[in-house]
Chain A
Amino acid sequence: MGFRGTAIWSAVPFQGRGVVIPSPLESVSLSVVIFLVTAAAAPLLKSRQASLINIAFSASAIASVIAAFAGFNAVATGAVETMVLPVGLPDLPFYLRLDATSGFFVTVTAVLVFFVSIYSIGYLKGFIGHPAGLAGQRKVTSLAVFYCLFVAGMLMVVLADDAYFFMISWELMAAASYFLVVFEDENKEARRAAFIYLLIAHVGAILILLSFGVMAGLSGGFENFNGYTFSAMRASHIPGVWKAAAFFLSFFGFAAKAGVVPLHVWLPEAHPVAPTNVSALMSGVMLKVAVYGMVRVSFDLLHVSDWRMGGVVLVMGLVSAVMGILYALMQVDLKRLLAYSSIENVGIILVCLGLAMIFKSFDMTALASLSLVAGLYHITNHAMFKGLLFMGAGAVMHSTHERNMERMGGLIHRMPQTAVFFLVGCLSISALPPFNGFVSEWLLFQAFLLSPSFPTPLLNLIIPLGAALVALTAALSARCFVKVFGVVFLGRWRGQHDTTVNETGLEMRGAMGFAAFACLALGLLPVFFIGWIDAIPRELVGGRVSETASEFGWLWLTPVAAERASYSAPVVFAGILAVVAAAYLLTRIPRAGVRRAPVWDCGFEKITPRMQYNSTSFAMPLRRIFGFLLSVRETVRPSGADPAFPKRLTYRLKIRDRIWHGCYMPVADASFWIARRFGRLQHGRIQIYLLYSFATLILLLVFA
C-alpha cells in the first residue's frame, strides 16, 4: 500500500537499531488491520471453538492496546496527521485523519474494547463449555468475526476524513452490529429487535448521507468529487439556510444511532438481546461514535454559530435524559434497564454539547470549552461505567441464567467480587464522589451556573430549567441504581434454585476490575484528564480550560477560578476514609460483641424472600408520581368465591413506551396499509403486467 501522507507527527527512528516507531495514525491503522485480519482468519478455527475464542479475543485485546496508546499520543500532542489510501473507486481515494478529537474517541473506544475483549474470553466460554449455558451449546465463530468487524468499523468511522469512507465505515459498523444483535437468531425477540435496529440505523444513515450531500455540493460544486473530503467542507462557507439543513439532517441522523428520544426505540430492544459483551460495546462506545459524528459535523465541519441549533440539541438532550431514566426505573429486565440508562447518559452528553454550541455562538469560548470538556468527560465516564455495569450484568446472567431482576437477590454472598465492582459502577453512574460520574456532572453544573444573562429571553428560561432537569436526572439515576444493586445483590435470593450460582471466572472479574479502577482513577484525578484533552476544545471551540483547571496543582480542580468553585476528589476521598477508619477503630474500644440473629418479623413467623421489596415495588412511588409521562396500565384481579377474601390476586403491570405506540406504530401500520393496497396490482399473470408496461409507455409518450 502506498501511503501518500503528510505526517506532521513524524516517525522517530531509534538511533542505531533501525526500528521505526509508527506514528499514531499508522498505529491506529495497524490496529484496524489486525481487527480485519482476525475477522478474516477466525473462520479457519471454526472447529476449535476454545482456541478460536482465546486467539481472536487476545488479538483484539492487543490491537486495542496499540490503538489506545496511539490515540492517547494523538490527543496529548494535539498534532494533526493525515493519510490518503488509494483504494476504493477510481478518483475517490480514502482520506484518513487523526487529530485530537478523533484520537480521543479512538482512545475511549480502544480502552473499553480492551476490557471487553478480556471479558469476552471468559464470557464466551459459557456459550461453548456448558450444554446448559445461557443459550445452550453454540458456535461463536460468527460472533468473533462480527465483533472484530464491528470494532474495526468504529475505529474507521473515527479516522475517516471524507464522506465516502465515513459512510462505508458507518455501514460496516451498522451491519456488523446487526449480525451481533441477531446472534441468538432462534430467538424471535432477537430477530425483531435486530430488524428494528437495522431499519432505524438506515433511516439515520440516509439522513447523514443527505447532510454530507448538502455540504459536499456547496463546498466543491456538483460537477466533481472534490467537495466530498472533510477538508473541503471545513474550508467552505455554507450559507445560513443550507447550513441549518445540513446540521439538522446530520444531527437527526446521528441521533438515531445515539438513541436520542424519540429515535431511541431500537435501543432498549437491541441491547438486551445481544450477547452481553456486545451490549457493553454498543452502549459504551457505539453510541459515542454517533456522538463523535455530531461533534465532528457541527463543531468542525459546519462551525455551528447559531444558538438555536444548540438550543435544539440542549432540549433534545434534556428530554432524552429525563425520559431515559424514568423508563429505566420502570424496567425489571437488567439489561433493558441499562439500555434505557444509556439513553439518559447520551442525553446528558447532548446537554453538554448543546451548551457548548450556545456559548460558542455568543463567542464565549471559555464557557464553550468548559461545556465541551464536561461532555467529553462524560463520554469517557459513561464508556467506563456503562461498560462495567453491562459486564457485571453479563456476569450475573452468566451464573444465574436470568435476566429478570425479580428473580434475583442476595448475590453479594455468592459473587462477592462481582458485587464490589458492580457497586463501583452504581456509585459512578449515580454521580457520587469520589467516582468519575460526579466530576463530569460537576463540570456541567459549573457551566450552567456560569452562564450569564443572554440577550434572548428564551435562553434565559431554558438554562435554569435545564439545570433543574439535569439535577432531577441525577437524583433519579441514584434512585435507579440503588434499586438495581439492592434488588440484584442485596436481600435474599428470590428465584427457584441458587445452587448453581457462583462467582465468575478470572478473565471476567479482571476486566470488571480494570473498568472499576478506571472509574475511580477518572474520579480522583480529573486534572490530568482535563490536561490531556486540552487540545480538543482548542481545536473545536478555540478555548481551553486546562490552564485555570490545574492552576493549583493536580490536587485541586478549579475550572474557572479558585473563588468560583473548587473540588478536590483526593482530599474528599481521603477525608471520608480517615473518618471511617477512625470511627471504626474508636468504636471498637467498648468491646461490645457481635452476633447474628433472624430478622425482625413483627411477630409473624415465616418471613419469606417473596415478602421483600422487589424492583416493581421499589419503583412504585415514582410510577405514581411520573405515571402521566409513561403509559402505565396496572390491574389487580382477585379470584375466588368471595371478593373480600380472595384466594389469589393476579397483578398485571404493563408499561409501554409511549413514543413507540404514538409515533412508530401509526407509521408502520400506514406503510402496511399502503403496501396492501399496492398489493392489489399484483395478480401473477404476465398479460396484466404487460398491460401495465403498455399503459406506462402510452402515458410517457403522451406527456413527454
Chain B
Amino acid sequence: MTGQFYPAIIEGVQVATVLLAAPLLVGWVRALKCWSQGRSTAGLFQPYRDILRLFSKDIVLAENASWVFRAAPYVVFGATLMAGAIIPVISVKAPLAATADVIALVALFAIARFFTALAGMDAGTAFGGMGSSREMMVASLAEPALLMSVFTVSLVTRSTSITEMVRVLSTGPFVLRPSLAFAFLSFAIIAMAETGRVPVDNPSTHLELTMIHEAMILEYSGRHLALMEWAGMMKLFLFSSLAIALFFPWGIAGMGGWLAGTAGLAGLPAAFFFLALKLALAGVAIVFVETGLAKMRIFRVPEFLGTAFILATLGMLSYFMLE
C-alpha cells in the first residue's frame, strides 16, 4: 500500500475513535464514581445503550419551538465532531488538523454552546432561559481563561497550530516551565467548567435550581437528545484529549520521537495504548475531584473561574518575564 492514503485513513480512524470511545470514557467515569461511592454500576457500556435507545424514540417538540431548536442538535454535533477531527487524539498526521488552529478550536466549541443556549431559550420556559443565562455566564468567564491557557502553550511552542504544538513539546528537550504549570492548572479548572462537571455543574442532576447544561436541553427528546448527549460525551473526551495533547503529548503517533515514532499506520497501536492509559488516568482524576468536592453555589463559580483566568494570565506573564 502506498503512503498517499495514510493521512485520510488516520483522519478516519481518529474521527471514529472520537465518536466511539467518547461514550466509553463517560461509562468509565460513571463506573469509577459508583465504585468509589460503594454503589453498583450499570456497566461500562450503559452510555451506548442510552444513545441507541434515544435514537429509536419519538421526538416531542415544544409547541413554540422554531427551526433553531430543531437545527441546534445537528449543529452542536457537527461542530463538536469537527473539533474532534482537529485535535491530534492519536496522531499528528491528520490532514484536517491544519484547517483550524487552537483559537479556531475554541471557537468551534463556542458555536456549539451558542446554539445550545439559543435552543434553551427557544421553548419559552423559565428553565431554558435560566440554563442559557448560566451557561453563558460560565462560558464568558471560562472561554477567555481557556484561550489564555492555550496561548501560554503557544507562546512556548511559537505556534497556535495544535499539531505543531504537540510536535514541539514532545520532541524538544524536556524543560520544566513554570508557565506551563500555571497553564495546566488553569486548563484543568476550565475543563471541569466547560464539560459541566462538579464543582461547577452536575451532569447527573435534574434539580431545578442546580442545573446548568441540563436546564438548556430539558425540552429535548428522541434523536435530538441523543445527539446532544453524544456531543456532550465527545466534549468531555475532547477536552481530556486536548489536555493530553497540550501538556502530556508523549505517545501521540507520527512525530518521530522515541515513543511511537514510526510514521504511517504502524505507530497507531502504541498510540491507542497510550491514549487509553492516559484517558483512564484522566477519568480517575475526574472522579477524584467529583467525589472530593461539593457543587458550588452558582455565584461562587465566577471566583473559581476567575482563579483560572488569573492563573493563565500569570502563566503568560511568567513566560514574558522569566523565559
Interface residues of A (CB under 8 A from B): 409-410, 412-413, 419, 423, 427, 430-433, 438, 442, 445-446, 448-449, 453, 457, 460-461, 463-465, 467-468, 471-472, 474-476, 478-479, 482-483, 485-487, 490-492, 556, 562-568, 571-572, 575-580, 583-584, 587, 590, 592-602, 607, 609, 611-614, 617-622, 624-625
Contacts and interface: CB of A to CB of B under 8 A. Distances in A.
Nearest to A460: B320
A590 B62 contact: no
Nearest to A450: B158
A467 B58 contact: no
Given A478-B136, A564-B161, 9 more contacts: A475-B144, A479-B139, A491-B122, A491-B123, A566-B101, A575-B82, A580-B77, A598-B62, A613-B126
A476 B309 CA distance: 14
B282 interface: no
B219 A599 contact: yes
B58 A575 contact: no
A486 B140 contact: no
Interface in B175-214: 208
26 contacts: A413-B66, A427-B111, A433-B104, A445-B151, A445-B160, A461-B320, A464-B148, A465-B313, A467-B151, A475-B139, A479-B136, A482-B121, A556-B98, A562-B98, A565-B159, A565-B160, A567-B104, A572-B99, A578-B78, A580-B77, A587-B227, A593-B59, A599-B123, A613-B132, A618-B136, A624-B299
Nearest to A589: B55
B107 A433 contact: yes
Contacts of B13: none
B110 interface: yes
Nearest to B231: A583
A192 to B, nearest CB: 33
B124 A410 contact: yes
Contacts of A485: 118
A594 B61 contact: yes
> Nearest 8 A-B pairs (CB), nearest first?
A613-B129, A486-B121, A471-B144, A579-B78, A491-B124, A464-B316, A492-B124, A621-B137
Given A565-B161, A618-B132, A438 B79 contact: no
Given A566-B99, A599-B219, A621-B134, A590 B56 contact: yes
Given A490-B68, A607-B125, A592 B77 contact: no
B298 interface: yes
A167 to B, nearest CB: 41
A442 B299 CA distance: 31
B317 interface: yes
Interface in B150-165: 151, 154-155, 158-161, 164
Contacts of B101: 565-567
Nearest to B143: A475
Interface in B245-301: 298-299
Contact of A409 (B60, B111, B124, B222): B124
B96 A571 contact: yes
Contacts of A563: 159, 161, 164
Interface in B40-59: 55-59
B218 interface: yes
Contacts of B147: 445, 467-468, 471
Q: Most chain-B CB neighbours within 10 Å: which of A465, A580, A597, A599?
A: A599
A439 to B, nearest CB: 10
Nearest to B73: A583
Interface of B: 55-68, 74-75, 77-79, 81-82, 85, 96, 98-101, 103-104, 107-108, 110-111, 113-114, 117-118, 120-130, 132-134, 136-137, 139-141, 143-144, 147-148, 151, 154-155, 158-161, 164, 208, 218-219, 222-223, 226-227, 298-299, 302, 309, 312-313, 316-317, 320-321
Contacts of B61: 594-597
A27 to B, nearest CB: 39
B227 A572 contact: no
A486 B120 CA distance: 9
A541 B226 CA distance: 53
A468 B148 contact: yes
Nearest to B314: A464
B317 A617 contact: no
A577 B127 CA distance: 30
Q: Most chain-A CB neighbours within 10 Å: which of B59, B117, B121?
A: B121
Contacts of A410: 64, 124
Given A575-B99, A576-B82, A427 B154 contact: no
A310 B155 CA distance: 22
A599 B218 CA distance: 10
Contact of A482 (B99, B114, B148, B316): B114
A485 B137 CA distance: 16
A596 B99 contact: no
Contact of B75 (A419, A580, A595): A580
Contact of A572 (B100, B136, B137, B313): B100
B118 A490 contact: yes
Nearest to B152: A464
Nearest to B305: A625
Contacts of B140: 472, 475-476, 478-479, 622
Contact of B74 (A479, A584, A614): A584
Given A571-B99, A580-B74, A594 B63 contact: no
A20 B251 CA distance: 68
Contacts of B110: 430-432, 475, 478
B82 A572 contact: yes
A361 B298 CA distance: 46
A400 B55 CA distance: 40
Contacts of B321: 457, 460
Contacts of A486: 117-118, 120-122, 129, 132
B181 to A, nearest CB: 16
A498 B121 CA distance: 19
Given A592-B57, A599-B123, A613-B121, A442 B103 contact: yes
A438 B110 CA distance: 11
Nearest to B222: A592
A580 B121 contact: no
A613 B130 contact: yes
Contacts of A622: 137, 140
Given A596-B63, A599-B123, A618-B133, A583 B227 contact: yes
A487 B120 CA distance: 11
Contact of A467 (B117, B139, B148): B148
Contacts of B139: 475, 478-479
Given A572-B104, A602-B208, A625-B137, A583 B122 contact: no
B234 to A, nearest CB: 11
Given A445-B103, A613-B129, A464 B313 contact: yes
Nearest to A556: B98
B58 A613 contact: no
B147 to A, nearest CB: 4
A556 B104 CA distance: 13
Contacts of B137: 479, 621-622, 625
A482 B161 contact: no
Q: Most chain-A CB neighbours within 10 Å: which of B130, B133, B312?
A: B133
Contacts of A587: 55, 223, 226-227
B114 A427 contact: yes
Contact of B124 (A457, A597, A609, A618): A609
